Structure 1
Amino acid sequence: MKKQTTIFALGALLLTTIYSCSDNKAAVQQQAPQAVPVKAVQVQKQHISAIDEYAATVIPLNEVEIRPQISGYITQIFVKDGQQVKKGQKLYEVDRTKYVAAKEQAEANVAIAESNLARIKKDVERYERLIEQDAIAAQQLDYAKADLLSAQSQLTAAKAQLNSAETDLRYSTLTAPFAGTIGISNVRLGAQVSPGQPLLNTISSDDPILVNFTANEKEIPRFNRLMNAENNPDSLFTIQLGDGSIYPMPGELTIMDRAIGGQTGTIRLRVEFPNPNRDLVPGMSVSLRVINQDYGQQIVIPYKAVTEQMGEYFVYVVQNDNTVRQQKLKLGSLLGSNVAVRSGLEPGQKIVYEGIQKLRQGASVSAEIVSPK
């Protein structure tokens, strides 16, 4: 009887021990963190050319309004509307008749003044010889010298009148101040004109041509570096035209305005483009494309891998022990569904791509490495 009691006690103790171990194991299993299934990508570099775009306007390097300088009637128009012209080429002619006559009259007046001056000079020379011989009164020589000064002044006035007449005659023919394209004429043959009125036409240069745009004052250091750099990409500045096509020739940043606009907080800049085929027309609105610092071999990650907290950006990096760590990033340009990373990641690191919403700092993960779509 005593033996049976002992066996019964040992059995009860063994069962208690087994149940206790099972409860402890279950508790441990309940306390152990579950690995969160996620998808991850491996960080790598790729060649990119990220573009910033600015609204811009095409302007000519040179542009001049053609206006008359004298009065008269338009008697000749030497060019067609929209024609390309060379420097010095005739454009318009104002009736020359009275200006030719005025020039001839001025030339005659100069000739008379020169003849009169020559005669008085000889009189003065003769009177000077006679005065040495006491053959004439000194007053007569004084009168002759006064006449000489008057004759010299008359010649000067006559020459000035001739210059004025020649200028008016020259202004009767209006010529192109530089090579370019002339616009649509505002006058026709027989139109009456006066100094400054009306505007006859406008001529603008074609090649090279300029593109004006504005940038925020915060970008001034960047554009200063671009102006002074010696190894910029050849296609640093390009143009997208209104139909979506890309202008085939790159430009060069040439001018930054002297000051920031007080009302706008922006600064004006100018890029020069070759324009041999006149594809760029003054006044045209285009999109100026500027390669930014995200150029060349850069780290690129899926944008959906990024989380934002208080204006800062983070990703979850998968550690060697299959836990995750939040890593702060400095982002660059958006590239479709991807984004360039300027700092914060190194090639070869693994970052969570899907399942981010389930994670926290130090969480265990079961990561499936995938290629982002």
Structure 2
Amino acid sequence: MNNKIALALTIGLALASGACKHNHEDHATHEHEHDHGHEHGAEVTAPAHDHGSEIMLHDEVAERFGVTFDTLRAGTFHEAVRATGRIELTGSEMAVVSAPASGTVHYAKSINPGCDVRAGATIAIIDSRGTSGGDANAAAKAALDAAKRELDRLTPLYEDRLVTASDYNAAVSAYEQAKAVYSPAALSGRASAPISGVLTRLDAAEGQFVETGAPIASISASKTVNLRIDLPRKHLRNAASFNNAIVEIPYSDTTIDIASAGGKRSSGAPTPDSNGTTAYVPVYFTMPNNGELTPGTSFTAYLTGAPRENVVTVPTGAISEQQGNYFVYERVHPEAYAKRRVELGASDGRSVEVVSGIHPGAVIVMSGATAVRLAETGSAIPEGHSHNH
């Protein structure tokens, strides 16, 4: 993707650079149409028109690569503390679907993490054909049928006192043992949902061989999940103010605002251990789960607390880090940008505070900063390629 961006930007930048590297007659004519008698050299000496420190990027190229900009404004910002956490479910709300027999797993149609299932619904079929040693349950069914036939034969004979009690009791015992070994569910290979709920995880791959009793899926009876966030102990005194969090889920590359997603804090003020040996105290939130949140997953979170007013912030995507320094790109006039070094403050995972380097009222690139960065590094025309004619 970066190669495609770089190639397209190179074409666009060649056009942009060509417009800026031509002799200044075109530039002066564009900027000073009202006075054709001036010397062109004098007209381009004004700093506002000196493109030497500007990054030129045609609007159509910028739009193609997602460059957006907006006027910087001060507003409300919530203090945030970066922490780590884990998605949890209580044991009473979980159930496991187990393989009724040894064999290969074939999931039912439309069975995927996140889907709703009813108790008794087929989750998968376990195919025991072709397994080493044959189908053990089929053999158990044959043994059960044989034991039942023998019991049926001896029962009337025992009633007529034609066989001994020990022979009859042996036949009854053999039948009961055969019945215990045989499983109708195993013969069908049908693995069913023990409870109604949301399928949260598939524990075996399609076509995978599993042994009898092996877990093949997990179901949550609750459509909510618990999020445990470990607050650094040094922030304990402010713990009561953290009523929301922004969560970064690693496998989805997205962020979730717990409050916006319908979640809420479920615990009171966290209590540290009495001997003070742990560096963290847990803060708990609950939120709806549409199947995208997998129990056991670790994540990064930004606990948000008390608001501050008149804070200048930009989206995290607007920041360009270069050799340990941070920059934003200001749109100084159409198709021209300038790089501004900034000092950053707190972040809530989506926005970051700008302490200095830029002020409200400036038009800042809010997304697509990478494209402007590529334009910056590729804007110079090599020696011998001057467009002066």
Smaller-chain TM-score range? 0.3 to 0.5
Give the TM-score normalised by the residue count of structure 2.
0.41
Give the TM-score normalised by the residue count of structure 1.
0.42
Structure of greater Rg? 1
